[in-house]
Structure 1
Amino acid sequence: MKLLSLLFTLLLLASTLSFGQKINADYRLHIREASSRIIIDGILDEKAWEDADVATDFFMITPMDTSFARVRTDVRMSYDAENLYLIVVNHHGMEGPYMVESLRRDFSFGKNDNFLLFMDPFDDQTNGFSFGANAAGAQWDGIMSNGGSVDLSWDNKWTSKVTNYDDKWIFEAAIPFKSIRYKKGISEWGINFSRLDLKTTEKSGWAPVPRQFPSASLAYTGILAWDNPPPPAGANVSVIPYVLGGVSKNFENDGDNVYRREIGMDAKIGLTSSLSLDLTVNPDFSQVEVDRQVTNLDRFELFFPERRQFFLENGDLFANFGYATIRPFFSRRIGLNVPIQYGARVSGRINKDWRIGAMTMQTAEVEENGLPSQNFTVMSLQRQVGARSNIGAIFVNKQSLRYNPDATEEGKPVYSEFNRNAGLEYNLASSNNLWTGKAMVLQSFAPNNSGNGFVHAANLKYASGNLTWEWQHEYVSESYTAEVGYVPRRGYYKINPSGGYLFFPNSAKILSHGPQFGSTFFWNKNGVKTDNTTFLAYNIRWRSQSKLMLWTAYDFVKLQRPFDPTNLGGEQLQTGSEHEWVAWGTEYTSKPQSVLTYAFSTRMGGYYENGMRYNITADLGYRFQPYVAIAMAANYNQIELREPWGSTRFWLVGPRIDVTMTNTLFLTTFIQYNEQIENINLNARFQWRFKPASDLFLVYTDNYLAAPFNVKNRSLVLKFTYWWNV
């Protein structure tokens, strides 16, 4: 394993040195200071727009990436001392109405006629910002990391307007310099524009992007050339106070009404144009959208992404360290069933090559569950090497204040005195994005060396237009601990080769098709094979953007601890027992152009103890565009096992209604019936964005027992937030 790791690290380093030049450097849009005042009304009538250069002649990305786009898009940009301006004329490719889901903010990209801006104000081809709108005027904004990933949970202050005509729709926006981070004095930014037109099923970009990559790929941005370096943002201090009132009641315990009257505040302070300080006092996240529940038949903890605003900007410095199942820092561990008192974070760029992140959060003491006040501190440092690669370091510390070693439950400590993690990683991203990879090491530290452990992992991926292949291996020692991380499995070695090939036929209906395969092997610390999943799939994608996948898989499991195969808390299979089976299934997603959309997946085949498992999921959506979107998700499982389990059946059903009266007035109602945990959850959220980034929320939550139908708990919260620039 050590020799393999060394070879991979050398290969990654060699790959970095092999690529350097920016691919689309010849695509340049010159931006000049506005020659007149610009009013955000979705009308192209100001002199400043007449004087601005035009980015046009977009390139098609899909269905093909070998020609100019058929649908015309014209983009102009300008600026003044406070704002970056953008106006886009999106011409229709054919007659007919536009296609959108609703006016909901941060819409689903593939289900809306839309225009998106991707900008890299550091010109590092790795981090940036995205802004845009759909054809009905719903806004989209997100923070970009990892060369093209867009986190839409990020939210900031900007204004826009969309105006519709018979032959086009126009999108106009003003983005305050204070709402973004950029390198002071730099006169060239990475920039690209993406257009999706569902009537023609055409996705296009101003600077060409190969079809195997998303249009958001920062490796393929052109250049926004400023006539002068962008103006400094000036005194960049924003204070975001909130006032909250609420009431809740626990009906299971016949509790009384519990009233909430809280105030708190966030603050954002620009230390430089690219480095910011974020502060929070008594934060509240009651308005954050609830997690989508899933049926859990896994032996390990499930992962749910972070949605809280405070943790998102430059969040990749902390959260992207490691792999999906090896994360030394996972911010959702902070404030888990305990209130956060205050926190601070410094993050951003020191210069072109160096990024830093430092965060500390303090939680309150909770007598009910015996937890003391705890401090969470994480520090990260990142150094760019080569064109788009970097070397990163991280340190994570969880410290219990006023530690009491006598606090035990069933002979075990209720909490630890401290837990620490330190790590290094190398991230490869070639300039053309064909090669990506990572090599990392982690070490954990705990009292009396009880949780001292080591982790190593590495992967290398190649993705061309037709061929994709990847190798990944991991080692996690049995004693490794990451109390502020997400590491659901310990004490294993793992290898995971995978690959695929796509054919692009000369067909009027089929865009691409091809096979995909992968195999994952696990061994325990003694070298005994404990798991293997090997799958083979065939993918078909039509030009209408509908997709079909057929698959079959072989599974082998040698249990390392007792496990209930129904996850209902019943009889458990014994440690050391071996199980293997074969299963097969389908996945299908309909074309997004219809007002009625649907998707389904099926699975049937073997399961533990020579049993059988049948699963079907279905998603159905209908929209009365642009004001109402109705969705229904359903998941049904049937498990047939020998006694004492017998036949087990359970549903997970989740209807959702989005009502978007305007692009600033939203009502979302989400119901989830989870038969596996015998719970019905109702969450209704009303949001009025009365000013950019300033909101009034009314959130109602109910939890019920499925049978008998009785209320478990209920809450109602009214929250007012206001974004104030000092």
Structure 2
Amino acid sequence: MSPRRVAALAALLLASAAGAQTNTPTRPVSRELPVPPAADAGESRATARAAIARRAERAPTIDGRDDDAAWRGAQVIDQFLEYEPTPAAVPRFKTEVRVLFDDKYLYVGARMFDPAPDSIISLLSRRDVRTQSEQLKLVIDSYHDRRTAYQFILNPAGVKRDFYVYNDATEDVTWDAVWDGAARVDSAGWVAEFRIPLSQLRFPKGDAHTFGLLIVRDVARTGQRISWPLYRRDVQGYVSQAGEISGFAGFATPRRLEVSPYVVTKNVTQARPGTNAGYTHPQEQAIGADLKYGLTSNLTVDATINPDFGQVEADPAVLNLGAFEQFFEERRPFFLEGAGIFTFRNSCNDIDTGCRGLFYSRRIGRSPQLGGSYGDASSPLNTTILGAAKITGRLPSGLSIGVLDAVTQREVGTRDRTIEPGTNYFAARAQQDLNKGQGDFGAMITAVNRDVDTLTARFLRRNAYTGGLDFRYRFFKRNYELHTSLSGSHVAGTRDAITALQRDGVHRYQRPDDDVTLDPNRTSLVGDAQRVSFSKFGGGRTRFQSVYQRYSPGFEINDLGFQQRADEQLFRNWFAYQIQQPTALFRMAFFNFNAMGSWTTDGLALQRNLNTNWHLQFKNMMWGHFGTNVGGFGGVYDDRDARGGPAVRRSTSWEVWSGVEGDNRKPWTPYLFAGLYGGDEGNTRGYWMEPSVNFRLRSQFSASLGVSYNRASDNSQWYGNYGVSGVDTTHYTFAHLDQRTLSLTTRLNYTASPTLSFQFYGQPYIALGEYSDWRELANPRAEAYADRYRPYGAGRDPGGLDFKQLRTNSVLRWEYRPGSTLFVVWAHGRDAFTTDPNDRLNVRREYQDLLGLHPNNTFLVKLSYWLNP
């Protein structure tokens, strides 16, 4: 497992284990005795799984107090049980929840009793940022389909969070609803009140409704999590575990029209054309709008005109010397919200949190593909999105649909030459539920059409289409799952464009030692992919998954999807043993074991790996991690390493890593991950370290500081190919690369109130490398490592590399009224790349050089106003 995957899993585990410090809260504690709602003849108690909502005769005041007369007569939900750390235990602290509604709103009032209110953790943060505070979470399955839900969360400081949930467990953290909430700490514990407009929920038409409801309370300082009804971690999913709340009747169809017009002013550093011509700082203004409209109670249209994403955090710095494209996460809100419906799992592991398949929204608004050929420093860095719209929703029949269309404008470089043609992107997805959420059957199509001209037609495909079908079914109490998919692709263009596609890093048709032949007369390329998985995700302590997937040599989805390579078949087995009840040694533990092999479609072995990873949380709330990986045994080959050359045999490799995480209830939490690796019969080796610390000086201020250092001695780094590719005179060269990489990642967060916050992100990144021992392939399939290469370059110095980059992003965010926001943004960047590295890594000198580079600054002010006519 890579360090990034380790960090992701660690974050996932941490998120599931609430903790907090036991110091005095920063919010003042009221010493008045609470006045609970008086019971009357109409009040009753909910059962362990069923409750009834009451119509409110008068709307309660949302002020964080539970003494409003409106709550009297509401049914009490109080049969909460602990699910972590001890499943089904009776909680130490009592919780009572009441639910009301009227024609426009759903109201929820909750009293969280606590005998030590001074120890309740109440931390401020900006909206949607999780802190180690106590919190109350509502999971509302308004469709009552046991697969999708809306989450609304409040902590004692009044910080709001909301998510959309799909596929029973996957959270869309970018979904933002317009709703009200208030919380208050008092002498008996704390109170949370919610007022949720019905227009923010989706439900079928009808005179009466039953919603699914799951309520979760985190008692931060003790690490306890309790729920109504009892949530079981040994059962797959959690929306499907919700109880039922009925009694909703007489809903008027909500009018769902939301418009957010905005104005943007921006100042950007821009290089003048020509050598040493200096820089300008033009001021730009733009207007745009986001629109949300409910076609029906189930279907919603989202549209954006002239969108601006200047407030989005910068991508992390990466120096990619590998044979495959780097994947970056989507960060733009328009594409993130509701993205779950566009997921088509033909290329990812079901145990991963994200999928990379037919739809990869980062293709829309991408960097101009021909900017390096026909652009200069003054050319656009990203393609302008003229407009985009999507329809998402779920019909009463259980059919979920998503349709997206986006248009980008033509971008030009020097001498009015096109660097990115005007393009239309389209994606449509449908999934039909089967047997009350036990399974589903789905289909997806995508289309890309470019307005290519004479110049761009030589390099870019004119159109690209993909399509797929998938089927999923759960059985044996929903603990086991079968999932299959079949997809295909068709791309078309000029002979030059399709020849370039055959030769690129995904396909490598020009390889001299395989059964795939490059055809320079092709004007289209067709491919297919298949995938089948059998999994156990619930029941007892064991989990497993077996996956087989295959890509044909011509499969191509990168015009609107993400795919690193074609011509591959893979078989993977994953087994996990999970202990989620406290023992004498630890609080919980997760052990997994993996075996994976891959081959080309004609049977050339590419990978054979064995892997294990262990994660344990100790009684003091600290985490320990350990993992090891062994690969390359049994004779495997890399058919992409020579960049179109013959497959190269790989020797056995190994990696060992470990990590420790401190108690996140403390004011500061240290982390340390480190690893060692080696291969190529001892000629390749390296190590990496990633120490970091999160700290909170007070409720309003938090920060994190992380260092990543990697020292790699790679003895088989591809250097370049010389001669005519595909003939006997071609020289496929490699070299020894001694590389040092250092990055420092800083995040600062100051929250004046839940609606006013400041965030800073900064990452200086330095990579130095020196090449030596320049060689070329001699006998690439030789069993002995030394026999695969021979000297090349007649003693010439192959040089090295020196890459520096600084990226910072500062964002002031003020939600001055619900749904209306002011952003003030400063994005700062510096970067340089040379082939003349320094002799050694001198941190002070490198940072001085980095700060001496010319900065690229973007200053942006964006004001939006939410209208709900």
Say if 2:830 is the partner of 1:704. Answer: yes
Distance in 1 (alpha carbons) for counterparts of 2:710 and 2:204: 52
Say if 2:104 is the partner of 1:82. Answer: yes
Question: Which is worse superposed, 599-608 or 381-390?
Answer: 599-608
CA pair 653-608 structure 1, distance change in 2 beyond 3 A: farther
> Displacement of 1:703 after TM fit?
0.7
SS at match of 1:200: coil
Say if 2:641 is the partner of 1:562. Answer: yes
> Displacement of 1:311 after TM fit?
2.4
SS at match of 1:310: helix
* Equivalent residues in 2 for 1:199-278, closer than 5 Å: 199-212=221-234, 217-228=238-249, 230-233=251-254, 235-250=255-270, 254-278=278-302
Alignment-derived partner of residue 12 in structure 1: none
Say if 2:387 is the partner of 1:338. Answer: no
Distance in 1 (alpha carbons) for counterparts of 2:267 and 2:739: 38
Question: Which is worse superposed, 438-447 or 544-553?
Answer: 544-553
Pick aligned residue for 2:540 from 455, 458, 465: 465
1:558 alignment partner AA = Y
2:541 alignment partner AA = N
* Equivalent residues in 2 for 1:539-550, closer than 5 Å: 539-550=615-626
Alignment-derived partner of residue 580 in structure 1: 652
CA contact (8 A) 1:201 1:543 kept: no
Alignment-derived partner of residue 153 in structure 1: 174
Say if 2:147 is the partner of 1:117. Answer: no
CA pair 511-655 structure 1, distance change in 2 beyond 3 A: same
> Displacement of 1:405 after TM fit?
4.9
1:618 alignment partner AA = P
Pick aligned residue for 1:515 from 588, 591, 603: 591
CA contact (8 A) 2:172 2:338 kept: no
Question: Which is worse superposed, 367-376 or 313-322?
Answer: 313-322
> Displacement of 1:82 after TM fit?
1.4
Distance in 1 (alpha carbons) for counterparts of 2:98 and 2:217: 14
Distance in 1 (alpha carbons) for counterparts of 2:196 and 2:242: 19
CA contact (8 A) 2:804 2:850 kept: no
> Displacement of 1:679 after TM fit?
0.4
CA pair 268-430 structure 1, distance change in 2 beyond 3 A: farther
CA pair 474-249 structure 1, distance change in 2 beyond 3 A: same
Alignment-derived partner of residue 484 in structure 1: 560
> Displacement of 1:300 after TM fit?
2.9
2:765 alignment partner AA = N
CA contact (8 A) 2:346 2:529 kept: no
SS at match of 1:452: strand
> Displacement of 1:167 after TM fit?
3.6
Please give the per-residue CA displacement for 1:556-592, whole angstroms capped at 9, x wherever unaligned: 262222379xxxxxxx998414132122111222222
For structure 1, the residue ranges without an aligned partner over 5 or more in a row are: 1-23, 565-571
Say if 2:401 is the partner of 1:356. Answer: yes
CA contact (8 A) 1:162 1:171 kept: yes
Distance in 1 (alpha carbons) for counterparts of 2:737 and 2:360: 38
Please give the per-residue CA displacement for 1:250-304, whole angstroms capped at 9, x wherever unaligned: 3687231122100001111111111111222111111223334467576433333
Percent identity, aligned pairs only, is: 22
Alignment-derived partner of residue 680 in structure 1: 806
Question: Which is worse superposed, 156-165 or 490-499?
Answer: 156-165
SS at match of 1:262: strand
TM-score when normalising by structure 2: 0.75
Alignment-derived partner of residue 861 in structure 2: 718
> Displacement of 1:182 after TM fit?
1.8
1:474 alignment partner AA = Q
Pick aligned residue for 1:659 from 731, 734, 750: 750
Question: Which is worse superposed, 679-688 or 589-598?
Answer: 589-598
Which one has a bigger Cα radius of gyration? 2
> Displacement of 1:35 after TM fit?
2.2
> Displacement of 1:221 after TM fit?
0.3
Pick aligned residue for 2:611 from 535, 541, 558: 535
> Displacement of 1:339 after TM fit?
0.8
Distance in 1 (alpha carbons) for counterparts of 2:541 and 2:337: 35
Distance in 1 (alpha carbons) for counterparts of 2:356 and 2:814: 39
1:628 alignment partner AA = F
1:441 alignment partner AA = L
CA contact (8 A) 2:172 2:337 kept: no
2:752 alignment partner AA = M
SS at match of 2:651: strand
Pick aligned residue for 2:686 from 596, 604, 613: 613
Distance in 2 (alpha carbons) for counterparts of 1:280 and 1:190: 32
CA contact (8 A) 1:198 1:592 kept: no
SS at match of 2:653: strand
SS at match of 1:724: coil
CA RMSD of aligned residues (A): 2.5
Say if 2:630 is the partner of 1:593. Answer: no
2:120 alignment partner AA = Y
Say if 2:542 is the partner of 1:453. Answer: no
CA contact (8 A) 1:652 1:672 kept: yes
CA pair 612-101 structure 1, distance change in 2 beyond 3 A: farther
TM-score when normalising by structure 1: 0.90
CA pair 646-287 structure 1, distance change in 2 beyond 3 A: closer
Please give the per-residue CA displacement for 1:575-621, whole angstroms capped at 9, x wherever unaligned: 41413212211122222211111222111121457311201112311
Alignment-derived partner of residue 197 in structure 2: 176
CA pair 329-504 structure 1, distance change in 2 beyond 3 A: closer
Question: Which is worse superposed, 502-511 or 366-375?
Answer: 502-511
CA pair 641-271 structure 1, distance change in 2 beyond 3 A: closer
SS at match of 1:446: strand
Alignment-derived partner of residue 449 in structure 2: 399
CA pair 242-404 structure 1, distance change in 2 beyond 3 A: same
Higher RCO, 1 vs 2 (CA within 8 Å, ≥6 residues apart):
1
> Displacement of 1:496 after TM fit?
0.7
CA contact (8 A) 1:247 1:257 kept: yes
